[in-house]
Chains A and B, each alone.
Chain A
Amino acid sequence: MDNIFKKADSFLLIIGVILFIAFLALYSASYGPEGAAVRDYSTQQLMWMGIAVIALLLCVKFGYERCIDFGYIIFAANLLMLVSVFVLGDVRYGARRWIGLGVFSLQPSEFCKISFLLALTKYVSDNNENITDPKTILGAVILCLLPMGLIMKQPDLGTALIFLPVFFTILLVAGVRIKHLMMIVFLAAAGSPVLWSMLKLYQKKRLLVFMNPNIDPLGAGYTIIQSRIAVGSGGLFGKGWLSGTQNQLNFLPERHTDFIFSVIGEEWGFLGAAILLSLFLFLISRFLSIADAANDIRAKTLLSGIAVLIWMQVFINIAMTIGLMPVVGLPLPFISYGGSNLLTTMIMVGLAVSINMKHKMF
């Protein structure tokens, strides 16, 4: 256990820095004008950071190979949890994503990201010889549609859609023919009108508002407009920590979760945002490099899946806060407030550490 940090990588240092930034940003997001009752999200998140670090260490101890071995079981259990959300949930008004576990609640759809990564990795590595066989690919498609369908039904569009890039990455790295992947893309595009009809009214609205935020300045469009003003008014150096007027004056709803980046953009400016982006970029490309160097197909696919998952969430979240993408409700990894998301991300880091240790030894 004690040599984890010796054998681990510089990316752990990067994550430490990102978590520190997260704490500062959440502290600022919780910091309101006098009189307004604002919850302190930063200290609550500190507790989660502690739990997440423990989860990371356990994950390293357990090892990525064993995690993959148990991939199907973990995945099945997770799907069961997703189903139980419906059983325990209030069906009439939709969205119920959490399962209460006494003092705190967990979001099975978050954990499904990992269990899906593990299960799909196991699947493509077990079927590595037949990876060019369309039947094998069909199995992978089914593996992907199961959690997507369940999460879409919750409804949590953002989390459901994030499965797609992960799916394509793992198949791509596992060696599936490009031709086959193109066909899946084509079929998915052909099926998208069906998907559209399955969306809830408010989800359609969000996508339409993205095309033109001004059709709903008080509803979904309001957040985009305010968030863009916040980021844009940050300028080169930002307004300074705890001094973002847009944030401090409560213009931004959900600024501690999905819109935490606009707090950073406003208070730390282009410089701060660029530093944060570079940290993320370094982390993700480091993951990809380790995957590249690994001589084990399982390590390769799993780690590229993890890298792409984190990349996609970072990219979509930031693009969404500056109005380049629809508001789909995805947290910014490591930074947004929320236990399930942080825990999930850190477990993924744990898997990455485990892979890195293994492949440094040889």
Chain B
Amino acid sequence: MLNNRIRLIKIFVFLSFASLLAALFYFQIIRYSHFKSLSLKNSVRTIPLKASRGSICDRKGLILAKDDISFNLVLIPQEIPNLDNVIGRLAVITGKPAPELKARYKKNYKLPFVPSDIITDIPPERAFAIEERLIDVPGAFIWAVPKRWYPNGKIGSHVIGYIGKIGDTEFKRLKDYGYTTRDLVGKSGVEQYYDAYLKGDDGGMQIEVDSRSREVSRIGFKEPIKGKDIVLSLDLGLQRFMNSVFEEKKGACIVMEAKTGAILGLVSSPEFDPNIFVSGKSHDRVRVLNDKGHPLLNRAITGSYPPGSTFKIIVAAAGIVTGAVKEKTSFFCDGIFELGNTSFRCWKEAGHGYQNVVEALSHSCNVFFYNLGKALGVEQIYKYGLYFGLGSLTGIDLPQEAKGTLPNALWKRLHVKAPWYEGDTINYSIGQGYLEVTPIQMLKAITIVANNGFYHQPFIVDSIGGIKVTRRKEHNTIFKPESLQMIRRGLYKCINDRTGTGQNAAVEAMAVSGKTGTAQSGPLRPCHAWFVGYCPSEEPIVSMVVCVEHGGKGGEDAASIARLITTYIKENGIIGP
């Protein structure tokens, strides 16, 4: 009985091969002349039609990136009877040297039926003039193609990103998703992170033509579908202002809606003009790529710096939550802290005298935090660093976010191959040593304080194609509002007391809270200047981080920048009724 089953399978095998043979007979014998003519005359033309990329707007609908029409002179390789002849005629028509045109053709050649760009970005009038003369140049056409355009130049470039020709490895990864070798893809920022939405769906035609290249019939047509438009949470006005404040400086600054995580402005300086990647001269691109200032690096999320005194917020929180520090606990600062044979200094040589945690935050007293750090030990500091989100990604919707380094004893053993010394802990407690954070991580940390213990994942994109992007629910941290009370008071005094280190950040008629930081970065170069803060102090609406790379002092340079930005925010109704 079982052997009958195998025989049954055999019958199916025979039948299936017979049906294949029949199909082949139909295609190869009966319809031979039809397919022969399609293939012999080489008479199916494929004409791709590029889809427009979706636009990117700010929260008010102002355009940050959009597709314009651009005119290109292209050659379709398979339609060229004699390349040198065609190139020669094009040289006469366009006035460009023939060898140059030929070199471009060779460089851009992809496949016989894929148009190869010869001259791009021809002004419209000239394009029409050229087109009229192309009628008897076989294989040459003027093509209108969408071209990316960033109307605000470098404003917001690190958020928006730029696009470029798809690379080989990118193509391998993306080809199953409908990408082709001719595609332009996002290379950074929103352009990269949301490329799949912005890209759209290319269309095209397959046309059967006769021996004189006249259309006989359309085999297929597919309309290109424009990519989805994206609305950002960014405010272009604020962004422009932040950009102007940071002109000539290196560093990063982020302003966020504390209650939602919406990024209102994000500057990483120096910035770059994304337009040069679309139509700029190649030497412009080379200049940007080789610039020692690394303008393509998004310092706001990828730059890692020691946080300096802004880290004292985290150490203070660790002390309060573990009970190492009470309201009345104070340490005496005489300007110096001795540990074995080593002395660690306070930034104020004369010392601060007795300091409790509120005063120590306000005055940024090192000695207080040396004592507290020593009492807590490295692992506690590390643990509370984790609670504030240091050493891990914030999950902002931009590519290439960095994790920074939140060290502990194990980390040092693995990476430095040395044991952890108590002196390391002392350095750690004022935000120096192996510790490295990104500006956005510090923004997250200060927002947790501003919000009394909860925060939202920061985000840039508000809606895609008119549909709101759903956000993860609010995150609760281990911090209770009570435990952050003293810190909030310290941060208020830091800006608003006569002795606070952050007075330069004070703004008229609005209470600002914050913390400054001056982080050493090697003996030969100026320090990094930090400011983290939020306002209004009572019911915070925005939180902010300023980090000026080798910018000097937090209390002067970073705090002044924060004041300018806060003033702008206040005067332009970003905060308020």
Complex interface: stretch among A186-194, A278-286, A341-349: A278-286
A284 touches B13 (CB 8 A): yes
Interface size on A, residues (CB 8 A): 63
Is A304 interfacial (CB-CB < 8 Å)? Answer: yes
Contacts of A249 in B (CB 8 A): 42, 78, 112
Q: Does B174 contact A (CB under 8 A)?
A: yes
Chain A residues whose CB sits within 8 angstroms of the CB of B113 once the complex forms: 251
Q: Chain A contacts of B31 at CB under 8 A?
A: 232
Residues from chain A with a CB closer than 8 A to the CB of B174 are 93
The digit string for B193-225, where 1 denotes a CB below 8 A from any CB of A, is: 000000000111110000000000001111000
Q: Which residues of B contact A246 (CB under 8 A)?
A: 39
B421 within 8 A of A: no
A311-327 to B contact mask, C-beta < 8 Å, 1/0:
10001001100101000
Q: Which of B4-12, B65-73, B363-371 lies at the interface?
A: B4-12
* Contact residues in A for B173 (Cβ distance below 8 Å): 90, 93
Docked CA distance A307–B9 (Å) = 10
| A22-30, A60-68, A114-122, A222-230 - the one binding chain B | A222-230
Is B44 touching A173 in the complex (CB atoms < 8 A)?
Answer: no
Considering only CB atoms and an 8 Å cut-off, how many residues of chain B contact the other chain? 51
Contact A319 B20 (CB under 8 A): yes
**Interchain nearest-CB distance for B475 vs A (Å):** 23
Chain A positions within 8 Å of B35 at CB level: 228-229, 231-233
B-facing residues in A206-228 (Cβ within 8 Å): 213-219, 221-222, 225-226, 228
- Whether A235 and B222, one on each chain, are in contact in the complex, defined by CB atoms closer than 8 angstroms, is no
Q: Is B339 an interface residue (CB 8 A)?
A: no
Question: Considering only CB atoms, which chain A residue lies closest to B8 in the complex?
Answer: A172
Write the chain B residue with the least CB distance to A94. Answer: B176
Q: Does B478 count as interface, using CB distance less than 8 angstroms? A: no
* A246 nearest in chain B by CB position: B39
- Pairwise interchain contact B17-A281, C-beta atoms closer than 8 A: yes
Closest residue on chain A to residue B202 by CB atoms? A218
Q: For the complex, is A277 an interface residue (Cβ under 8 Å from B)?
A: yes
Do A202 and B20 form a contact, CB below 8 Å, given A270-B25, A273-B28, A292-B7? no
The answer to whether A225 touches B28 (Cβ under 8 A) is no
What's the Cα separation between A304 and B10 when bound, in Å? 10
Q: B393: CB under 8 A from chain A?
A: no
What 0/1 readout, one digit per residue, does chain A (163-185) give for beta carbons within 8 Å of chain B? 00000010011010000000000
Complex contact A269–B5 (CB within 8 A): no
Tell me the B69-85 residues at the A interface (CB within 8 Å): 78
Query: How many contacting A-B pairs (Cβ < 8 A)?
Result: 154
- CB of B204 within 8 A of CB of A245, answer no
B42 touches A285 (CB 8 A): no
Interface flag for A88 (CB, 8 Å): no
Tell me which of A214, A229, A246, A307 has the highest count of chain B C-beta atoms within 10 A of its own C-beta.
Answer: A229
Q: Are A218 and B112 interface neighbours, CB within 8 A? A: no
A225 lies within 8 A of B206 (CB): yes
Q: Is the CB of B2 within 8 A of A277?
A: no
Is B34 at the interface (CB under 8 A from chain A)? yes
Name the B residues within 8 Å of A232 (CB-CB).
27-28, 31-32, 34-36, 38-39
Known contacts A232-B27, A277-B17, A322-B24: A222-B46 contact under CB 8 Å = yes
Give the contacting residue for A231; candidates B28, B34, B42; CB below 8 A: B28
Is B29 at the interface (CB under 8 A from chain A)?
yes
User: Nearest-CB distance from A362 to chain B (Å)?
Assistant: 17
A234 at the interface (CB under 8 A from B): yes
Does chain B have a CB within 8 A of A12? Answer: no
Beyond A214-B219, A218-B46, A229-B35, 18 additional contacts (C-beta under 8 Å) are: A94-B176, A218-B206, A218-B222, A219-B222, A231-B24, A232-B35, A232-B39, A233-B40, A235-B36, A236-B29, A245-B42, A246-B39, A250-B111, A281-B17, A285-B10, A292-B3, A300-B2, A315-B20
A-B pairs, top 9 by smallest CB distance, nearest first, are: A232-B35, A217-B220, A233-B39, A214-B220, A218-B204, A217-B206, A270-B28, A232-B27, A233-B35
What would 5 A/B residue contacts be, using CB atoms closer than 8 Å?
A95-B176, A232-B36, A249-B112, A288-B6, A307-B13
B residues sitting closer than 8 Å to A (CB atoms) are: 1-3, 5-7, 9-10, 13-14, 16-17, 20-21, 23-25, 27-29, 31-32, 34-36, 38-40, 42, 44, 46, 48, 78, 109, 111-113, 173-174, 176-178, 202-206, 219-222
- Residue positions of A touching B, CB distance < 8 A: 33, 35, 90, 93-95, 169, 172-173, 175, 200-202, 213-219, 221-222, 225-226, 228-236, 245-246, 249-251, 265-266, 269-270, 273-274, 277, 280-281, 284-285, 288-289, 291-292, 300, 304, 307-308, 311, 315, 318-319, 322, 324
